[in-house]
Structure 1
Amino acid sequence: MDIAFALYPGMTLLDMTGPHEVLAHHPEVTCHYLATRPGPLATDTGFQVTATAAFSDLPRPDVIVVPGGGGYARALEEETELVDWLAAAHPSAAWTTSVCTGSTLLAKAGILTGRPATTHWGARDVLGGLGAQVSTDRVVVDGDVITAAGVSAGIDMGLTLAERLWGLETARAIQLFIEYAPEPPFTPVASEEAGPEMVEALDRILSGV
């Protein structure tokens, strides 16, 4: 089973490594790390990842995983080879998936037109503007497409996909293996519940002010 992780500058590392950790240990899986061209690229925090092949090297993967990240807006405008590859590879893939703002790239490729999908809460308007039916759910399964909300939801997406691929028992065993039993130190805050002070604090962190 060939799983293609679509890489681009400015992606979020956990968007890729979350589902990767869930899926990559299975003996049926061969992972491929694709970009416009092979070589290193920087994530949105500066961490370097390496693409081992070009999109054109794997035209028919079995599974596609598209991370999101701070560079998604640039990617929507400049990553034309990625978007074209998604449009061409999706019809033959068993599953096409995304994490966080990666769903906007699926939408740009025409994959989500009129379909329910989720994304990071800060990009819902963008996703809707690209033709998707925006959901606020953490993971959305629609036919052969699975989309996940922001960053950490990629682990949930990976486990959801694992169940579809190998059954509930295997998916639960993987969940045990990665010890995924979230107990966050703070009470979770839904985006709809966040006050302006929290949003402003987040903006300051992300802008480096």
Structure 2
Amino acid sequence: MKRRTLLRSATALGAAGLAAGASPHSATAAPSRRGDDPPFRVQVVLFDGVEELDLAAPYEVFAASGHFTDRTVDVRYVALDGPRTVTAAFGTALRAEHAWAPEEADLLVVPGGGYARREDPGVWAEIRRGALPKALAKAPRPGLTISALCTGVMLLSAAGLTDGRPCTTHHRARQDLEQQGGRVKNARVVDDGDLVTAGGVTSGLDLALWLTRRELGTDAALGLESMLEYETRGTVWTPPPGPA
């Protein structure tokens, strides 16, 4: 037990290096583990005008999660017309090294950004352009969970993926989401199985921690909370249990 604790502490310090500016490629270069489970493959979608914290919080949680589980975790930034460099909402240049390939993912994470500025790059521009919503509409398949946070949920809505489904988004976009057919829940995270959505910007942490717990186990989520010095906020909505 002491050896396990020591190993977990050492790997947590290594994970903290990701937050200190290590190359994002290190997330996919984590030491390989020999478990019975296949790798957990996460793709975080980038587009011009994406909110920095929307994408960074889930990316770091999932990238660091591999240090708290025996299962290999592979996390990638992808862009629909990538590989390419995108410019985020506050001017950060980000490189998506991988092309759009949801068929190679277990989890797709769609951040938001730019919803309040309709003429600028961001969610509204992507909805007008149409290519990303169309690609998202074609993405669902058995074994893939599609998630989104903040106004990234509106891209799922434009793709028809939230119609009639329990979901949530940034509080300023909830009315739009409801008018477009989403069954909006007043929760931090809404887990409807293969569709998982979350509220405003910082809820990306809670979305990622919840999905880590769901897919990799409670110990992994607890380890991440300790490393990040962050305790999960809010309520996670899940469907009521069916008849026994």
Q: Name the counterpart of 2:241.
A: none
Which residue does 1:17 correspond to in 2? Answer: 56
Give the 4+ runs in structure 1 shifted more than 6 A.
Answer: none
State the distance in 2 between where 1:58 and 1:144 align.
13
User: Contact between 2:209 and 2:232, CA under 8 Å: does it hold in 1?
Assistant: no
Q: Residues of 1 paired with 2:163 and 2:232: CA distance? A: 33
Shift of 1:168: 1.3
Question: Structure 2 stretches of 5 or more lacking a match?
Answer: 1-39, 67-71, 115-121, 234-244
Mapped pair 1:77 → 2:121: no
Offset at 1:130? 2.4
Cα gap change, 1:141/1:115 in structure 2, threshold over 3 Å: closer, same or farther?
A: same
Cα gap change, 1:182 to 1:159, in 2 (>3 Å): closer
Q: Is structure 2 residue 50 aligned with structure 1 residue 5?
A: no
Identity of counterpart residues, as a percentage?
35
- Do the aligned partners of residues 121 and 135 (structure 1) sit closer, same or farther apart at CA in structure 2, a change above 3 Å counting? same
Q: How many pairs were matched up?
A: 181
Aligned to 2:220: 170
Q: TM-score, normalised by structure 2?
A: 0.69
Alignment root-mean-square deviation, CA: 1.8
Structure 1 unmatched ranges of 5 or more: 184-209
| Alpha-carbon separation, structure 2, partners of 1:93 and 1:74 | 30
Name the CA distance, whole Å, in 1 between partners of 2:209 and 2:176: 26
> CA offset at residue 155 of structure 1?
0.1
Q: Secondary structure at the match of 2:65?
A: coil
Please state whether the residue corresponding to 1:85 is helix, strand or coil.
helix
Instruction: Map residues 126-165 of structure 1 onto 2, 5 A cutoff.
Output: 126-165=176-215
Structure 1 residue identity aligned to 2:75: C
In 1, are the aligned partners of 2:133 and 2:159 still within 8 Å (CA)? yes
Aligned ranges for residues 86-105 of structure 1 at < 5 Å? 86-105=136-155
Rounded Cα–Cα distance in structure 2 between residues aligned with 1:105 and 1:139:
17
Could you tell me whether the CA contact under 8 Å between 2:189 and 2:197 is conserved in 1? Answer: yes
Larger displacement relative to structure 2 (128-137 or 63-72): 128-137
